Chain A
Amino acid sequence: MIKIENVHKSYGAKDNKSEILKGISLDVKRGDFAVILGASGSGKSTLLNVASGLERPDSGSVLYDGENIAALTDEKLTAFRKRKIGFIFQQYYLLPNLNVDKNVKMGAELAHNNDYAEVIAALGLSEKRGKFPHELSGGEQQRVSVARALAKKPEVLFLDEPTGALDEETGRSVLDYICKLQDELKFTIIMVTHNANIAEMAKTVIRMNSGKIVEQYRNQTQKTAYEIGW
């Protein structure tokens, strides 16, 4: 479904240019659960941004069912994200002047999803619906950002460190809920994490180092969120 071919990406002007992605190729099947591991600064977030159409690669292509999104106009790219992509950021990025309910609604409305209260409840946020982001703890904000992405019912869900701010118990329950929804809705997951244990839940594991993929393998069996170590 997603085929990334020889993608390069650099930041910075001519003289202090640094190449972050150095020729990445990757193939992710529909319904896959891919986990990207790698040291801090190895380019994981950048890869996620390019793969999800938030950014264009300098060269190479990003194909969704054969369509190269790197070549789309901004307008088409926006429409593409609206149809297909859900995103959970490392830094949450909630809308600061809207409460939890409205933040989740922002995602839900794009998918004409009126039952988003279910998602809020499943993530243990029912009590917090009327609260604003600045009134929430880091972990609660992270769960709102998860709820917002899931309420959008995306075809592909990108997650950047979705459990970074969560304690073990909440972390497990959030991952468990995401997996349950995946079973039900059959979306594709691409997740970045520092926690190597989470890789045991994945179908595909990708390991990155300094802008390159150094290892890629498929797990024979997948563990659930309650079976992995933490």
Chain B
Amino acid sequence: MVIGIKDIFKLIGIIIISICAVFVCTLFLNYNIDLQSIENKILSVETKALFDALVMSGTVVSAVSGGCLLITAVVMLCFYIKHYIDSHRKELGILKALGYSNLRISSGFWVFGLSVFFGSAVGFAGAHCLMPKFYSVQNEDKLLPEFEPGFHLELFLSLVILPTVIFALMSVVYSLLKMKTPVLELLRGKSVSKIKAVKDGKDLPFLKDIKRATVRGRKSLVFFIAFAAFCYSAMVQMSFGIDELASEMMSFMILGIGLTLAFVTLFIAVTTIVRSNAESVSIMRVFGYSRKECSVAVLSGYRPAAIVGFAVGTGYQYLLLKIAVEVVFKDIENVPEFDFNLRALIIAAVSFVIFYEVIMYLYSRKIGKISVKEIMLDSVD
């Protein structure tokens, strides 16, 4: 029907995020379960304290990063379906006009759940591959008795099967809600609510007008850009900030996840921005607006969102680590002082500016390549 295998691969963002989320959660939760099993073998008080701290930090890490990633995946999936419906409004409208029932059309959306299955299965398998190494690193000083990674069916069910089912159901329900739109509105091609936000404002120059209209027309994208900046800022600074508190492996993991998330989110957001404005850009190019003017109109309105996201991320990681140090590790000796890490902030800020601007530059090149004939071919999706 309307959704094919090709569309599932467009969900690469969700796949990657599911991989990250399930990977981290599997690693730490599996470790915790195995750890609990040796609780009664622990005799000394010191070892008990270490044991508690390990359990605690495992829970915190999987809650914070896993939870964070899961929320992102949910938001992103909703966004994808919405975007999918928005950009296929005409086809869906035609199907509806021909007499297909809403349920019949929506039920096709379950395949979106497959992308979650791919991602979480890979993440789960990946975690199991890394587990032996992880277990030995966590117990480097041989303070705890040795124990081997085990396979836990309940984790497989709740981290792989459950999300797949939930996401599949969610896709169908969400699309069902979206399909309530009357046929004519679907056929007209543009969603009304998307547009009405732009009030007839003051007399701004045209390029400022269109910049405002593009940003306001799709608020979810503002969120995504801010979120990308947030992830980058929080995770990069955290990975530098905890190098004295936790193992090197953990720092690397956090750094890796932060970069992946930021990149994927930013990539998806900017791709969507460029695609959904391709028509406008193409019209502007016909009239003789230059590549630079077009990319300013389409892309530069999001910069403030990135700055806000970055600032919030900085505050968030600071508070999180502060709380972790004061609550989780309060009974353990020799925990280093935790201070705001200015060096990490500078490194994160400078590298983010470069990262962000390079991506924007690449996409502005892409905008330049949108041919003036693009709209006539109607091949933009």
Residues of B within 8 A of A78 (CB): 285, 288-291
For the A-B complex, the count of residue pairs with Cβ-Cβ distances under 8 Å equals 91
A102–B290 touching, CB < 8 Å = no
**A107 interface contact, C-beta 8 A:** yes
Contact B210 A96 (CB under 8 A): no
Which of A80-88, A162-170, A196-204 is near enough to bind chain B? Answer: A80-88
- CB contact under 8 A between A93 and B375, given known A105-B209, A106-B206: yes
Residue contact B287 to A110, C-beta cutoff 8 Å: yes
Task: Tell me, yes or no, whether B213 is within 8 Å of chain A by CB.
Answer: yes
Neighbouring A residues of B283 by C-beta, 8 Å: 93-95, 106
Task: Provide the bound-state CA to CA distance between A41 and B213, in Å.
Answer: 36
Q: Is A65's beta carbon under 8 Å from chain B?
A: no
Of B195, B205, B282, the contact of A132 (CB 8 Å cutoff) = B195
List chain B residues, Cβ under 8 A from A110: 287-289
Chain B residues contacting A121 (CB-CB under 8 Å) are none
Q: Which of B190, B205, B207, B376 contacts A96 (CB 8 A)?
A: B190
Are A97 and B214 also in contact (CB < 8 A) when A49-B373, A134-B188, A134-B192 are? yes
A130 touches B200 (CB 8 A): yes
- Give a binary string over B188-205; 1 marks a CB under 8 Å from any A CB, 0 the rest: 111010111010100001
Which of B196, B213, B290 sits near A98, CB closer than 8 Å? B213
Residue of B nearest to A86 (CB): B287
Which one of A75, A106, A133 contacts B284 once the chains associate, using CB atoms below 8 Å?
Answer: A106
Please give me the residue from chain B that is nearest to A93 by CB atom.
B283
Q: Which residues of B contact A132 (CB under 8 A)?
A: 195-196
B107 within 8 A of A: no
* Number of residues from A at the complex interface, CB < 8 A: 36
Q: How far is the CB of B287 from chain A (nearest CB, A)?
A: 6
Give the chain A neighbours of B209 by CB distance below 8 A.
98, 102, 105
Write the A19-57 contact mask toward B (1 if CB under 8 angstroms, else 0): 000000000000000000000000000000100001100
Q: Which residues of A contact B213 (CB under 8 A)?
A: 97-98, 102
Q: Are A102 and B287 in contact (CB under 8 A)?
A: no
Q: Is the CB of A54 within 8 A of B210?
A: no
Contacts of B285 in A (CB 8 A): 78
Q: Which of B194, B287, B290, B376 has the most CB of A within 10 A?
A: B287
Residue B59 interfacial (CB < 8 Å): no
B372 located at the interface, meaning its Cβ lies under 8 Å from any Cβ of chain A in the complex: yes
In the assembled complex, the Cα of A93 lies from the Cα of B282 at a distance in Å of 9
Which B residues touch A82, using CB under 8 A?
A: 287-290
- When C-beta atoms are compared, the residue in chain B nearest to A132 turns out to be B195
- Whether, in the assembled complex, B280 has its beta carbon less than 8 Å from a beta carbon of chain A, the answer is yes
Verify if A228 is at the interface (C-beta below 8 Å from B): no
**Chain B: CB-nearest residue to A105:** B206
Q: Given A54-B372, A132-B195, A134-B192, are A93 and B287 also a contact pair (CB < 8 Å)?
A: no
CA distance A83 to B290 in the complex (A): 12
Q: Are B284 and A81 in contact (CB under 8 A)?
A: no
* Bound Cα distance from A101 to B188, whole angstroms: 21
Q: For residue A100, which residue of chain B has the nearest CB?
A: B200
Nearest Cβ distance between residue B120 and chain A, in whole angstroms?
Answer: 37
List A contacts of B288 (CB < 8 A): 78-83, 85, 110
Q: Which residues of B contact A130 (CB under 8 A)?
A: 200
Which chain B residues lie closer than 8 Å to A98 at the CB level? 198, 209-210, 213
Interface residues of A in 163-196 (CB under 8 A from B): none
Interface centre among A79, A81, A93, A96 (most CB of B within 10 A): A96
A162 CB, nearest partner CB in chain B, Å: 16
For window 90-146 of chain A, which residues contact chain B by CB distance below 8 Å? 91, 93-99, 101-102, 105-107, 109-110, 129-130, 132-134
Rounded to whole angstroms, the CA-CA distance of A79 and B285 in the bound complex is: 10
Residues 279-299 of chain B, each 1 if its beta carbon lies under 8 Å from chain A, else 0: 110111111111100000000
Pick the residue among B192, B198, B214, B286 that contacts A81 (CB under 8 A).
Answer: B286
Minimal Cβ-Cβ distance residue in B for A149: B287
Residue of B nearest to A83 (CB): B288
Partner of A101, one of B200, B205, B214, B289: B200
Given the known inter-chain contacts A93-B375, A98-B198, A102-B206, please indicate yes or no for A79 contacting B190, CB distance below 8 A.
no
Which of chain B's residues have a CB closer than 8 A to the CB of A109?
205-207
Assembled-state Cα–Cα distance A87/B192 (Å): 27
CB-defined contacts of B194 to chain A, threshold 8 Å: 97
Q: Which residues of B contact A152 (CB under 8 A)?
A: 287
Q: Is the CB–CB distance between A81 and B200 below 8 Å?
A: no
| Complex-state Cα separation, A74 to B367, whole angstroms | 13
Q: Is B108 in the interface zone, CB < 8 Å from A?
A: no
Q: Counting chain A CB atoms within 10 Å of each CB, which of B194, B198, B283, B284 scores highest?
A: B283
**Contacts of A81 on B, CB cut-off 8 Å?**
286-288
Residues of B with C-beta under 8 A to A107? 287
B195 and A54 contacting across the interface, CB-CB below 8 Å: no
Scan B344-381; emit 1 where CB is below 8 A from any A CB, else 0. 00000000000000000000000010001101100000
Q: What are 26 A-B contacts defined by CB distance under 8 Å?
A: A54-B286, A54-B372, A55-B373, A75-B291, A78-B291, A81-B286, A82-B288, A85-B287, A91-B376, A93-B279, A93-B375, A96-B195, A96-B280, A97-B213, A97-B280, A105-B206, A106-B284, A109-B207, A110-B287, A110-B289, A134-B188, A134-B189, A134-B190, A134-B192, A134-B195, A152-B287
Q: Told that A82-B287, A98-B213 touch, could you supply 4 new A-B pairs with CB distance under 8 A? A: A75-B291, A93-B286, A97-B210, A130-B200
Shortest 8 CB-CB contacts between residues of A and residues of B: A82-B288, A81-B288, A97-B213, A109-B206, A97-B217, A54-B372, A130-B200, A105-B206
